[in-house]
Structure formats: structure tokens, C-alpha cells
Structure 1
Amino acid sequence: MSTPIDVLMWVQPGTLLLDLAGPAEAFRLANQALRRRQQPEAFRLRFIGMEAECASSVGLQLSGLEPPPESLAPGSWLILSGCRSKAPDEPAPSSEQLAQELAGERWLARQGQVLLREGGRLVCICSGTLLAARAGLLGRGVRCTSHHEMLDQLRALAPEAQVVDNRVFVLDGPEEQIASSAGITAGIDLSLHLIAQQCGEALAASVAQTMVVYLRRSSKDPELSPLLAHRHHLHAALHRLQDAICAEPARDWSLDAMAARAHVTPRHLSRLFAEHAGISPLGYLQSIRLERAEQALARGASASDAALAAGFSSDQQLRRTRQARAAAGTRPTH
């Protein structure tokens, strides 16, 4: 049985509650979906901070926080949530509070460097990117982002980093070890992307469905991947069928087989797809197979192997499908 990834969520006074709770719920729901599939959980959530309890951005008291550990397990993920901006009329922090903040930054600087060297992942949500910058974790050329109101501040704190505007999230570093997102709900988009990388697109889509949110696949493309497109609906039977197709695109998915999986007639299935997904069942299947083949080709597979793994009868059929898509104005993603 594989060991769950330690996901350590940094909590500080004024932590934006949605920055914290949104990603945490996404990881929890991913574990829940894995248990339902009788698979081991992928994530172990831990909440750490310099104080055992503190007030969140909305005043809700957060307690039971672990102290920062002396060392992090190799492969851990460290998530830095955003923090509310202080109001102009708020009193200046006390010397004790400043000392706590400084101690926290020193821990982050020390452990963050070790984390990245040992194959871990640094995840910054909203103004959590500023915290990473103050800890010296965003060095020369690192691509990163933050809430749009904080980009200039981020540039000042990390002058050698490459700050990216107008992105939901940005990934950089070896194996995308450094991830950062824009404000508030963008942390959910980023978390879903990380879940998809770790657990598969179908499971991430099921988490997004449960959370009733849209799912963004890529930091480079504002459009949805074919694996995640046509899913902005709440029809449970269609989602189950789409999950099954994404999980096994090479299966013999005739219209009758798809209808049987959805427990409807083929005619009714076509109506459901048109109404809720905006595409035909076979058109959806073809888009999934084409995306799977494109991914395999990008990994270096031969055209023949990519075609068969995705469910095409031959590399010639794959080539004809790609050409038809290109002629229609829909270019391959890779």
C-alpha cells in the first residue's frame, strides 16, 4: 500500500478561511473518492502554525494546530494560504507577534529549501506567495503568481522571480514543484489540478462535481482539456459515464455500451448529452481518445502505440481523426 503524501497547511493569524478550507476539502474529497474505489488514501492533511490556535480572516477561531515539525518527510507538500490585509486602523503588531512572524519565516526558509531539494512541493495560494517570497523561496527565474492586487508587491519581494499576470495558477520548477495561484477560489482550481496529476483526471473531475465547481486543467490554457470539458452540469448518470470513459477510453464503447453504463436507452443518452454536455456521446468519446493519444505521443510513444492505448483501431485512424480536428479548427493540445 502506498504511503499518503503529507500535505502540511500553514495557518497564521488572519488566514483567509476559503484559501485554507477550499483546498483542504478538495484533498479530503479525493481521499473519500479513493476509499469508495477501495484504493488507499493519497493525502494526509496536517495543519501547522507558530501558535496552537489563531483567528481566521472571518474571526472564526482555528485550534489544534501542530507546531512546525523539525523536518519534513521527503515528498511532502507545503501549502501556504493567503492572509487578510490589515486594516489601516488596526494596531501595530506587538514585539511578540513580530518575533513569531520572524520565527515562522525562518522555519519556512530553512524547511522550504530542504523540501524542494528532496522532491517535495511548495504550493502558494493568494498572498501565500508573498510569504514564500519573504522566506527566499522564489529565486531567479521562478515563475509565480498571486492575487491581482498583490502582484506589484510580489515583484518587490521577489525581484528575480518571473511574476505572471492574469493566470489562475502557475507551475514551475523541476516536475512543477513550485505552484502558485491567484486569489481565494483559485486555490481550489490549483488543488484540483494537483489531484488530477496525482490521482487521475477522472477522480479530480468527480471531486469537482462534488464541490460543484468548474475544473481548470492547465495553467497554460484558459480553455478546458477535452478530459474535463463538457462537464459543467450536475447530471449524475452522465458524470458516471464520463468518469468511466476517461478511465478506460480504449474499451469498446459503442453507443449501446455507453447507454447501458448510464442505465438509459441509447436515444435518451443522446438527448442527455446534447442537453447537458453540448456534444454527442460518440463525439465525446472521440475527444477523450484523441486527448489520450496526444498525451501518449507527448511522452514519446509511437503513433501505433498511442493509437491503440487510446482506443483507435490503428495509427491511420488516429491520423485521420487529428487531421479532421485540425481542419475543423480544433488543434491538438500537444
Structure 2
Amino acid sequence: MSLSDSHRDTGGRTDADLGTGRGAGPIDVWILVERHTLLLDLAGAAEALRLANQALRRRGEPEAFRLRYCAASESASTSVGLTLAALEPLPELSPRDWLILSGRRHPHPDDPPTETVDREEELRIERWLHREGTALLAGGQGRLLSICAGALLAARAGLLDGRRCTTHHEALDALRDAAPRADVQANRVFVLDGPLASSAGITAGIDLVLALIAEHCGEAIAASVAQVMVVYLRRGAQDPELSPMLANRHHLHPALHRVQDAVCGDPRADWSLARMAEVAHVTPRHLTRLFTQHGGTTPLDYLRAIRLELARRELQRGVRPAQAALAAGFSSDQQLRRTRRRLSADA
């Protein structure tokens, strides 16, 4: 199976030539493929990024990510026996690149002994990762993502000292042994520590990538991806399992989705019932009926819930209440408090 055709042909143009409004062009997202890589770790993250590009194209915007797959050899067998081919050599990363490390299948008792060539390949990957990962983390623009037991590879490469991180619950002790100076956090869906991002097992990597898509492309794009993948949009163990960005969206009504996409895309705008109805191409009264019937809420309560979520995130970042309220679209922190009390009472 060849992966070389999954990233966009740029015709030799550089990122600077491909400007997107989010920087100097799409981000090169390098996915490292080791022998026995867990295919779901790799494919879940890659598919979320592909769907983000698709959602951006539908809005008439440029793609944000360019998927690339690298390895120590031209092909590698995955955890399910499928061999991935046409892999690119281990690259020299640019400061804005993202690098994704996924987990590997646990060795079976009846596996043959590791061959010398395999161990040499592992050491070459670790040396490359130490060099490129250290530069990537120091640069501040790029990101290093570990999914599941991919954190163990980052630990062996010496990249986790002094950093907060997590991994699959079965690998937590191994990670603590491999990175004794890291702050290994248990029972977390994922952990963000500056340019380092790490997730728990397998599908938690999708949650991690969704959060980064939201940060880079906006909440509406991330919500669209999550809907297509039929997953919950989670950001961490402290957050509710179902994000308010996806709540009230388990329906198939296109007019409501248009309104919800518009509100999530610009929640601070001056949204009135009449303006929402214009987006839906229905009357305000009919829009209220549609929201109640299909979304289980009212248009304005939906808007308030989205703004409350944004304010909650700002407060978690340490922003003062008045600033958090304005950033989320409230006129004041007093209005924020009133809205919180009202929605809590109605729940």
C-alpha cells in the first residue's frame, strides 16, 4: 500500500509560495512509521487531519496540513500485518513542522529474536529523533505529538525531561522508568505542554488531534471533523466527555448545522435570532421550532452554551473574568455570571 499519493502535489513550490493566511503555507505533518506501528494510532490522526483539509476546502479556504510519512526504510509492516510502502526517508524538519509518533505492537512471546539490522534501525531512529525532536521542541513553532506508546520512543530519545506527558495506561510505569525526570500524568486523555503533545491509548490520539485542529483551524472545523468521524470532542480529563461544541448536534438537519457551524466559527459576533434565521434561510419562529425539535434547545441558549465554553477555556488559561467574558462574546463578566446561573438552573 503506497502512501506517497496522500499528500498534495505542490509542484515544487515552497511553503512561502503556498501562503494560506495561517502562516507560510500548509504545515508539513510528518508521521513516523516504525516496524509494527499500531495502524489505528497512525490512521486515526491522519484521517482527522485529512478531513480538516476537506472541511476547509468546502469553505473555500486553503488546506492547512500536508501529510507525509517517513521511516528508516522504504517500507514497514504494521501491527495488523499490512505493509506500508513508498515511505520517505527520515527528514530534516523545519521549525514549523509537526511530527507524530505512534505506538508499536507489543512483542509476542513466540516472535523471533530481534535481528541486528532491526536494532540498528531502531537506534538510527532514536538518534534522528533526538536531533530533530530537540530542535523542534526548542523552536516553539512546530509540534511533537506522541500517541499511545509513542511517548516511550520520545523518552528513549531524551525528549521528555522536565515536561508533562502521558501515555497508554498500561505503559505509564514503563514511561516513568524511561523518563524519570518527566512529569508523567495518569488518567488523562491527553496532555499539552507547549510544543509537546501526548495522548493516552489509541483513539485518544484522535481527541488530541481534534484539539490541535480546533486551535489551528477553529472550532467549527474541528466540530465538523468530529461529526464525520462520529467521535466525542474531548480535550482532557477535566473537560466534559461531550464538548458543548458538539452538544445538540446529533441530528441531520442541514439548516441547523449551517447555523451551528456559523456560531461555532464566530461566537463573538452579534448573533440575534433574526441573524441566525438568515443563515438557516427560514423565519426566526421556524428556526426556534427546528432547534427545539432537532437540537433539544433554543437558538439563543445554544449560542450562550458555546460562549460559556469559550469563557471557561479562557478562565482555565488564567485570564481574568472580565477579559474572559469579552473574549467569549459577553458584554461583561456580570452577563457571563448571569448566563451561567441561568443555564445551570435550566439543566
**Does the 8 Å contact 2:190/2:235 carry over to 1?**
no
2:41 corresponds in structure 1 to 19
Contact kept? 2:232, 2:243, Cα under 8 Å: no
How far off its partner does 1:260 sit? 3.9
Give the structure 2 partner of residue 226 of structure 1. 244
CA distance in 2, matches of 1:299, 1:38: 35
SS at match of 1:159: coil
| Cα deviations by residue, 1:169-204 (Å, 9 ceiling, x for unpaired) | 1111xxx21111111111111110010011111111
CA-CA distance at 1:249 after TM superposition: 2.6
Q: 2:207 aligns with which of 165, 181, 189?
A: 189
User: Could you tell me which amino acid in structure 2 is paired with residue 63 of structure 1?
Assistant: A
Q: 1:233 to 1:143 in 2, by over 3 A?
A: farther
Residue 278 (structure 1) aligns with:
296
Deviation string, structure 1 residues 203-245 (Cα, Å, up to 9, x no partner): 1111111222111134542444534433344544322211101
1:30 is aligned to 2:52: yes
**What does 1:309-320 align with in structure 2 at a 5 Å threshold?**
310-312=328-330, 314-315=331-332, 318-320=333-335
TM-score, normalisation: structure 1: 0.87
**What is the rounded CA distance, in whole Å, between the counterparts of 2:38 and 2:26 in structure 1?**
26
Label 1:189 to 1:235 Cα distance change in 2 as closer, same or farther (>3 A).
Answer: farther
Q: How does 1:84-123 map to 2 (within 5 A)?
A: 84-119=105-140, 120-123=142-145
What's the C-alpha RMSD, in Å, of the aligned pairs?
2.6
Instruction: Report the equivalent of 1:77.
Output: 98
Give the letter for the 2:220 counterpart.
A
Q: CA deviation at 1:269?
A: 3.6
Match of residue 156, structure 1, among 173, 177, 182: 177
Which digits, 9 at most, give the CA deviation of each residue in 1:45-93, with x for residues without a partner? Answer: 1100001001111111100100101x21111111001111111111111
Contact 1:217 1:224 (C-alpha < 8 Å) held by counterparts:
no
| AA matched with 1:325 | R
- Quote the sequence identity (%): 60
Inter-partner Cα distance in structure 1 for 2:319 and 2:201: 36
Equivalent residue for 2:16?
A: none
Distance in 1 (alpha carbons) for counterparts of 2:223 and 2:110: 44
Tell me the residue number matched to 1:134: 156
SS at 1:231 equivalent? coil
**Structure 2 equivalent of residue 322 of structure 1:** 337
Aligned residue-pair number: 321
Residues 238 and 40 (structure 1 numbering): CA distance in 2 closer, same or farther, change over 3 Å? same
CA deviation digits over 1:238-264, x for unaligned, max 9? 222111012233444333432342345
* Amino acid paired to 2:233: L
Q: 1:275 to 1:51 in 2, by over 3 A?
A: farther
The correspondence of residues 192-203 of structure 1 with structure 2, limited to 5 A, is 192-203=210-221
CA distance in 1, matches of 2:122, 2:68: 20
Q: Is the 8 A contact 2:277 2:284 kept in 1?
A: yes
